[in-house]
Amino acid sequence: MTPSVKTLSVLGATGSIGRNTLDIVDHHRDAFEIVALTAQSNVAELARQALKYRARMAVIGDEALYSELKSLLSGTNTVVAAGEDALVAAASETVDCVMAAIVGSAGLKPTFAAAKHAKRVALANKECLVCAGEAFMTLIASGTCELLPVDSEHSGVFQTIAAADESSIEQITLTASGGPFRSWSNEQMAAATVDQALNHPNWSMGAKVTIDSATMMNKGLELIEAFHLFPVRHEQLSCVVHPQSIVHCLVSFTDGTTLAQMACPDMRTPIAYALGWPNRLKAPTKRLDLTDLSGLTFELADENRFPALAVARAALEKGGAAPCILNAANEVAVAAFLDRKIGFTDIADLVGWTLDRCEALGLTGRVCSLKDVLDVDREARMLSGSRLDGGP
Ligand code: NAD
Ligand code: MG
């Protein structure tokens, strides 16, 4: 192996971010050696990837799929494992970079493990910062792992403030596409179907984050993510609806300058940045031209029609365990919506109800450790779940 070859593990390799990451690897085949690939249940795709990249390890989260993965990879040198502990073990391999792209709070333990052992974590799993921002950033600050954001808006901010003196940052604005229901009324959204909510106008993403974009909870989670990543108070964070998804963020400075980061909406751009930093890897994405910029528009986000955004902002302001509860309830609600058990507008209602209930039960206090976070996550899921089952 030449010194310029980077060892890379991809957690959540079969998902949207995982596949886009491997697509970047395909364009830089000699620059990366794949160590571990993980997935939850798509055993065929994981095996195909492990064969193609000659991965050292392939781990499937669902233990019932172990023998299938084992037989698909028989005769190869890939070590096969299954289950949650095996995911954490794979994430703990010492590598140059881990792409943390598991969706949801399921990504917390593996991402923490990666931050302890890898030279760099490319962080797509925003839930890690939403639920456990304080503990995760403390871990990063106390070690040597570099943290590179993958979320497009946060990648933009990271690039924009790179040379800035922290005290010169006045305001960070994240843009939101507004999702498929940007101009829908409350009544229309109450009747929205799963297929309509999954039909995102600009981005091709996994189901969870696509629904979060439709409710605008995604932008709320991203404000919390930004709060932990960047040296600002929550009052300095805002969002604006920008339907073209060309400008990903705007950062305003004390001298009156505002810098914007722009790129076509394609996750391979921020992924390439996170893998290549401080250099830039060539990415096979569409380039912007000036005609793309002639129709850019910006509008205020309507928190009456998108109450998830207001609920998330309140959780950010409250701090402590509130963002973790927000995330847990939202994961339960989005899964129920995707299972067609609740309506689209019930998502924000359930999240708001769970936060109020947890506050009444005294569960919104400070969470210092990953264990505290996982305890709160479990409790909040139980409360949301029992509400869905018709509980009090
Ligand atoms: P996805 O649903 O397409 O893929 C998720 C991956 O996680 C899959 O490989 C799946 O096997 C794995 N996974 C799911 N549940 C798991 C579990 N319980 N244990 C272990 N592995 C599990 O999701 P995605 O869209 O690629 O998103 C991944 C993360 O990146 C999310 O946190 C999302 O918010 C963030 N993100 C995604 C995009 C995007 O464009 N897709 C953009 C910004 C941020
Ligand atoms: Mg984003």
pLDDT, tens only, 44-71: 999 999 999 999 999 999 999 999 999 9
**Per-residue pLDDT band at 3 (split at 50, 70, 90):** low
* CA 384 – CA 329 distance, rounded (Å): 6
* CA 49 – CA 60 distance, rounded (Å): 12
> Whose CA is closest to 331, among 357, 354, 361?
354
pLDDT in the model for residue 293 = 87
Q: Which of 9, 11, 17 to mutate to test the pocket of ligand 1 (most atoms within 8 A of CB)?
A: 17
pLDDT in the model for residue 201 = 86
Residue pair 133/224 in contact by the 8 Å Cβ criterion = yes
pLDDT at position 26 over 90: yes
Taking the whole predicted model, whether its pTM rises above 0.75 is answered as yes
Residue pair 321/371 in contact by the 8 Å Cβ criterion = no
pLDDT at position 75 over 50: yes
**Per-residue pLDDT band at 392 (split at 50, 70, 90):** low
CA 17 to ligand 1: nearest atom: 26
Q: Which protein residues touch ligand 1 with a CB less than 6 Å away?
A: 12-18, 39-40, 42, 61, 87, 101-103, 106, 124-127, 151, 203, 205-209, 267
For 190-234, write each residue's pLDDT tens digit. 999 999 999 988 888 999 999 999 999 999 999 999 999 999 999
Rg (CA), the chain: 20
Average pLDDT, the chain: 96
Residue pair 105/375 in contact by the 8 Å Cβ criterion = no
**Per-residue pLDDT band at 1 (split at 50, 70, 90):** very low
pLDDT in the model for residue 195 = 97
Q: Which of 16, 109, 127, 225 to mutate to test the pocket of ligand 1 (most atoms within 8 A of CB)?
A: 16
Which residue type is seen at 295?
G
> Whose CA is closest to 313, among 237, 252, 392?
237
For 242-273, write each residue's pLDDT tens digit. 999 999 999 999 999 999 999 999 999 999 99
Q: Which ligand is nearest to the CA of 248?
A: 2
pLDDT > 90: what percent of the chain? 94
User: How many CB atoms are closer than 10 A to CB 113?
Assistant: 21
